[in-house]
Amino acid sequence: MTIQIQHTRLPNSLQRRWSVLCLLLVALLVGSIGYVSGTSAAESSAPPGMVPVMIGTSVQGRSIEGLRMGWGPRKVVITGAIHGSEGNTAVLVQELIAHFATIQHLVPPDVSLYFLPVLNPDGLAINSRYNARGVDLNRNWDTDDWQPDTMDSAGRVRGGGGSAPFSEPETAMLATWLLDLRDQSPFPVTTVFYHSQYPPNGLVMHGSVGLSISRAFAAIVRYPASDSSTGFGAYRVTGTAPAWCGRHQIRCFEIELPTRANVSPASMLRHADAILSVLLWEQTQPDQRCFRETGMCIAGRLRSFWEQNGGLATFGLPLTRQQALDAANPGYLMQWFERARLEFHPDNPAPADVKLGRIGVEYLEQQGRDWWLFERSAPQDGCLFFPETEKNICGPFLATWQAHGLQLDGRSGITFAESLALSGLPLSDAQPETLSDGQTYLVQWFERARFELPLDPAPTDQAQISLLGTKMQVRE
């Protein structure tokens, strides 16, 4: 599996992210995200766009609380510190909160994303794996294999599973809350339980989510993926949260961080990338390459075509997931990019199996404009004339048209046919137009593109290619 995450531009302001994180960490340290004068610490420090969520209280009365982003029917839950000795998982979830506060525009509108940094606040307060009654909160779930005594790396733990399944308020309240989420929506709830440590490289265990999700997640965070639901062979585990989830139609899986140290900023971003691309946008193709800027991934034939024909410089970032081009033919796929729409037609031999949508024509139609009514022209010296549309390409527009093309013959350089295959025929001559930014440009329309030349400052020797795919996606 070769899933990659691409980040071609710097992430949003780190200063803003860390200021949010500091507020959240203060809330955690002051009261384990508890209540102060009737207002929770999470509520007082919640980033804009997030609201506090109360799960319950621990044995010693500490609040178990989190934050919610979004109000969609698909529920995704990110949890930390079910073992109090694994405080770096709580820190990671807090860092994820701060990061997602800066990228809320990338979260799908049909998602509710929950962050629960600390599931075992009593254990966290004393750096203990167990809760205040000495129970392992990941061995206290009502499963077929629950046992009152458990095992850990030091051996047998008497009473580690509790006096009965859900004998502990922390697990009982979390299970009730997860069941409520499940019952609120026709979509399955997906829950991540972060743990530590599993040296040297960490581990992703698929639990009840299945291998496609766990492997896609693991590839982005650069951890091994276990083929078993737990991945542990050193000792027997019983009464776990993922095992309970599997019995109740809730998708749960576990991620072991490599060490007890806080993850690096780069590693945190990879976890955020995996949550966004795999869990929120549900992209799990084995050869996918994902992009931090949009959360979208390219895979299969569309990926190879994108990479072979100029990639980012030619097509821009992916804006959507791959989706069926025609509901009657699910094998035919399409995907929107900043400057193009790629369409996969498997019945055609390569390279004709991938076509570019005529988005120049479509955008004009969206504006209610008929390109055939544009003024016609005659051949001009120094220009390239197209009798099919009676239009010329001249000067900077011709330089841009000739400098970009698809790779059709495997040779260096761009041929006439390759430029035509990328941009298509000209639909207009260069003409002044006021665009959506309120500025006037020299604009030339093509079947699959729009070229723009700013009038102020002075025109350059090449025009810029409009992000027409972006404009069509946002309906400018």
Pairing assessment for the beta strands 111-116 and 63-69 based on DSSP bridges: antiparallel
How sure is the predictor about 461, in pLDDT bands with cuts at 50, 70 and 90? Answer: confident
Query: Which residue shows structure tokens 């203060």?
Result: 26
Nearest alpha carbon to residue 19 among 93, 124, 97: 97
Give the model confidence (pLDDT) of 218-276 as tens digits.
999 999 999 876 666 677 899 999 999 999 999 999 999 999 999 999 999 999 999 99
pLDDT for res 42:
52
Q: Please tell me the predicted confidence (pLDDT) of residue 154.
A: 85
Domains of the chain and CATH, by start: 4-291 (3.40.630.10), 299-357 (no CATH), 362-473 (no CATH)
Q: Which residues contact 107 (CB under 8 A, 6 or more apart)?
A: 69, 70, 100, 113, 276, 280
Average pLDDT, stretch 388-394?
A: 97
Residues β-bridged to residue 391: 386
Give the H/E segment covering residue 211.
helix 211-221
* CB 31 within 8 Å of CB 62: yes
- Note whether 265 and 219 are within 8 A (CB): no
Separation of alpha carbons 32 and 414, rounded Å = 62
Evaluate if residue 327 carries a pLDDT over 90. Answer: no
pLDDT of residue 19: 44
pLDDT at 231: 60
Is the pLDDT at 196 greater than 80, yes or no? yes
- The residues pairing with 205 across neighbouring beta strands, listed in sequence order, are 254
Highest mean pLDDT among 32-41, 42-51, 157-166, 432-441: 157-166
In DSSP notation, 251-309 reads: EEEEEEESSSSPPPHHHHHHHHHHIIIIIIS----TT-EEETTT--EE-HHHHHHHHHT
The alpha carbon of residue 383 and the mean position of all alpha carbons in its chain are separated, in whole angstroms, by 45
Q: Which two tokens stand for residue 139?
A: 């061995």
Q: What angle do CA 140, 144, 149 make, to 5 degrees?
A: 45
Per-residue pLDDT at 379? 97
**Residue 435 has what pLDDT?**
92
The answer to whether residues 9 and 290 touch, using CB atoms and an 8 Å cutoff, is no
**Is the pLDDT at 21 greater than 70, yes or no?**
no
What is the phi/psi pair of residue 235, to 5°?
A: -155, 160
Q: What is the mean pLDDT of residues 336-354?
A: 95
CB 112 within 8 A of CB 71: yes
Cα–Cα–Cα angle for 345, 318, 95, nearest 5°?
A: 140
Mean predicted confidence (pLDDT) in 394-414:
93
Nearest to 465 by CA among 457, 447, 453: 453
Pairing of strands 111-116, 74-79: parallel
Q: Which residue has the tokens 């350059």?
A: 460
Bridge partners for 79 per DSSP:
116, 193
Measure the CA angle with vertex 277, ends 115 and 357; round to 5°. Answer: 145
pLDDT interval class at 9 (50, 70, 90): very low
Q: What is the pLDDT of residue 20?
A: 42
pLDDT class of 32 with cuts at 50, 70, 90: very low
pLDDT band at residue 331 under the 50/70/90 scheme: confident
Does residue 29 surpass a pLDDT of 90? no
Name the pLDDT band for 13 (thresholds 50, 70, 90): very low
Q: Report residue 363 as tokens.
A: 């955008």
Q: What pLDDT was estimated at residue 36? A: 29
pLDDT tens profile 290-312 = 999 999 999 999 999 999 999 99
Average of per-residue pLDDT across 363-369: 95
Structure confidence by residue, pLDDT tens digits, 145-156: 999 999 988 889
- Cα–Cα distance measured from residue 240 to residue 161, given in angstroms and rounded to the nearest whole number: 10
Is the predicted pLDDT of residue 281 greater than 80, yes or no?
yes
Please give the Cα distance from 338 to 352 (Å, whole number). 21
The percentage of the chain sitting over the pLDDT mark of 90, rounded to a whole number, equals: 80
C-alpha dihedral sign at 196, 137, 180, 65? negative
Asked if the model's pLDDT at residue 33 lies above 50, the reply is no
Query: Residue 109 burial (CB < 10 Å; 0-12/13-18/19+)?
Result: exposed
- pLDDT higher than threshold 60 for residue 177: yes
Q: State the pLDDT at residue 459.
A: 62
Task: Check residue 78 and give its pLDDT.
Answer: 98
Strands (E), 311-360: 323-326, 329-336, 341-344, 354-356
Mean pLDDT of the chain: 90
pLDDT at position 172 over 50: yes
pLDDT at 409: 86
Q: Which residues lie across from 393 on neighbouring strands?
A: 384
